[in-house]
Amino acid sequence: MPSAETARGGRGYEDEVIHEGDALLVLENITRSYEQADNHLVVLDGADLTVRAGEMVALVAPSGAGKSTLLHIAGLLERPSAGEIYIAGHPQGNAPDRERTLMRRNEIGFVYQFHHLLAEFSALENVALPQLIHGEKVAEAQSRALELLRYMKVDHRASHRPSELSGGEQQRVAIARAMANAPRVLLADEPTGNLDPTTSDYVFRALNSLVKQSGIAALVATHNLFLAERMDRQITLVDGKIVEL
């Protein structure tokens, strides 16, 4: 099993040292509302959440409750109407767009229900690409990509394109890609939703191991109650507020 330093890659926001239990994702009094014709729709209403280093939190809520909005705000893809977001202690709610883009690129990893791997590239190239965009040299990016694929036990498929991989292999490559730039925070939206129960369990165990070994903070939206119960905490959304289960 690789060390935490290996899993995270030893890079991060200004090379700050993160310790177990540090608050890496904090949502503070988040409100998000929309104007729809003559209606004022409030999706989040004073939502508070803290996810700490090495912690995996399950977000379980019915469709339409605001899960996607919450993930988008946590991932700096959308700004809240009010409230503050902290990534590794750095406020981002009102930060300039460029700062939010860099924070999202360097400190937040995303895993979706569908893998979204680039079809024309191999597994290795898919994981190396975010590092190349980040400015890494090709050899270093490929070396880390292979290390991450090995960590996810899919390095033997490194030269294969997504269409040549099984669903579980595709998702493990997607998780490796999400970790390519050594983020502090991992956001996952139904990461096992397209998989059969056996494959889903395998991918979950790989993801959980990665979170624990790397010391990142993970927020995972899922409808799979069995998997949710195996995470550190479970939360839901009730009337726009985050409630512990």
pLDDT (0 to 100) of residue 4? 42
With vertex at residue 138, the alpha carbon angle to CA 204 and CA 160, rounded to the nearest 5 degrees, is 50
Rounded CA-CA distance 92/40 in Å is 25
Split at pLDDT 50, 70, 90, the class of 17 is: low
Per DSSP, what are the bridge partners of residue 17? Answer: none
List, in sequence order, every beta strand (DSSP E) within the chain. 23-36, 39-52, 56-59, 82-87, 90-91, 108-111, 185-189, 217-221, 233-238, 241-244
Return the percentage of the chain with pLDDT > 70, whole number. 92
Q: What is the pLDDT of residue 12?
A: 45
Residue 45 has φ and ψ, to the nearest 5°, of -140, 85
| Exposure b/e, 93-128, CB count within 10 A at least 16 = b | bebeeeebeebbebbbbbbbbebebeeeebbbbbbb
Mean pLDDT value across residues 199-206: 86
Top CATH class of 22-244 equals alpha beta
Confidence of residue 136 (pLDDT cuts 50, 70, 90): very high
The tokens for 233 are 């905490």
Q: Using one digit for the tens of pLDDT, what is the confidence trace for 139-193?
A: 999 999 999 999 888 999 999 999 999 999 999 999 999 999 999 999 999 888 8
Please state whether the predicted TM-score (pTM) of the whole model is above 0.85.
yes
Q: State mean pLDDT over 9-33.
A: 76
How far is 204 from 19, CA to CA, in rounded Å? Answer: 24
At residue 188, the pLDDT reads 93
For 57, the token pair is 């939190």
Q: Where are the domains of the chain?
A: 22-244
Region of residue 91 (left: phi > 0; alpha: psi -120 to 50; beta: else)? beta
Dihedral angle of Cα 208, 225, 60, 245, to the nearest 10 degrees: -90
Neighbour-count burial for 220-237, b at 16+ CB within 10 Å, e otherwise? bbbebeebbeebeebbbb
Residues 111-124: tens digit of each pLDDT: 988 888 999 999 99
Does 3 have pLDDT greater than 50?
Answer: no
- The residue length of the chain stands at 245
